[in-house]
Amino acid sequence: MRHTLPKAPQFYVTAPQPCPYLDGKVERKLFTALFGDDAKTLNDSLSQQGFRRSQNVLYRPTCAGCAACMSARIRIADFTPSRSQRKILNRNKDLRRSIKTPWATEEHFDLFQSYLGSRHADGGMAGMDIFEFAAMIEETPVHSRIIEYHNTTLDAENSLIGACLTDILDDGLSLVYSFFNPDQDRRSLGSHIILDHIQMAHDAGLPYVYLGFWVPGSRKMDYKARFQPLELYRAGTWVDFDTQRQSNTDFHPLDTDPVVEQVAAIHLPDLSKL
């Protein structure tokens, strides 16, 4: 007897756990597996509907009574760097960008550990070993690259000061995860990596840079609001960022549709023709 996997993706919900962004909140995620020849098409489609990729899983928050987490993307055509962002670009003129196949190295892992130890020592990734790190970088069923940033004033063996795992979508670049030397505060490397991705997207004719989730009330996410024009995925559509309206963290329970309705509203590509 021959068995085949279904073409239509199956969606699941994680068990409740403490929210990493807002104290006193509980998070759940809606997710689906990403595999096979249709992975890129599905990743492109669901990324445009607020989903994010982690290895071979696509997910987005589906928290009961809370709709604070919203996917964010920069609209490239209307982006103009601010005065402070131009200074960041100028301070990092000595950096060299390298675009490579997503293959984890010990140099990447050392930089990753240094970054986590300084910025996210109490986060969920803090205990990640080199094998788990390699899986995060290398287990990608879609078009991904590891973007490296090297200080050209240093010798080659010690020049890596930043890196970003990036997905190349049909409508933009998605920053899956970035990490950098935490001792280089003056460079504002996190912002520089975003600015450089904006330039890459512009050069490639791609309309968006996807930044992951933005959460009002979370200081960890404040930096994303500095990249305007920013669009947020809310209630099934992309809307322009509004500082006063989006800074509200008091969401009515009815702002969040039941999971069944959320899944029913997802627009899936016609995978039967692929």
Q: Is 251 helix (H, G, I), strand (E, B) or coil?
A: coil
Q: What is the pLDDT of residues 50-100, one digit of tens each?
A: 999 999 999 999 988 788 889 999 999 999 999 999 999 999 999 999 999
Same domain for 212 and 265, yes or no, is: no
Same domain for 83 and 63, yes or no, is: no
* Structural domain span for residue 65: 11-72+248-273
Same domain for 143 and 267, yes or no, is: no
Residue 146 confidence (pLDDT) above 70: yes
Same domain for 68 and 80, yes or no, is: no
Total residue length of the chain: 274
Q: At what angle do helices 106-119 and 130-138 cross, to 10 degrees?
A: 100
Is residue 239, in this structure, part of any structural domain at all?
no
* pLDDT of 4: 45
State the total domains in the chain: 2
Same domain for 58 and 141, yes or no, is: no
Sign of CA dihedral 180, 183, 185, 186: negative
Low-confidence winner among 29-43, 145-159, 224-238, 244-258 (lowest mean pLDDT): 244-258
Question: Which residue reads 């200081």 in tokens?
Answer: 219
- What confidence tier does 270 reach under pLDDT thresholds 50, 70, 90? confident
Is residue 243, in this structure, part of any structural domain at all?
no
d(CA 78, CA 241): 13
Is residue 238, in this structure, part of any structural domain at all?
no
d(CA 8, CA 58): 14
Is residue 2, in this structure, part of any structural domain at all?
no
Is there a contact between 186 and 60 (Cβ–Cβ < 8 Å)? no
Residue 128 confidence (pLDDT) above 90: no
- Beta-ladder partners of 147: 99, 164
Same domain for 96 and 166, yes or no, is: yes
* pLDDT of 255: 61
Same domain for 146 and 256, yes or no, is: no
